[in-house]
Amino acid sequence: MNELEVILIGIGVVFLTLSILTMATYFFGWIINKYFVEEEEDDKEKIAAIVAAIQARGGD
SS3 1: coil
Nearer to another protein by C-beta: 45 or 55? 55
In 3-state terms the chain splits into helix, strand, coil percentages (rounded to 5) of: 75, 0, 25
- Cα 57 → chain centroid: 20
Task: State in angstroms the smallest separation of the CB of 39 from another protein.
Answer: 9
Does 49 bind another protein (CB under 8 A)? Our answer is: no
Residue ranges in contact with another protein by CB under 8 A: 1, 3, 6-7, 9-11, 13-22, 24-26, 28-29, 32-33, 36-37, 40, 42, 47, 50-51, 54-55, 57-60
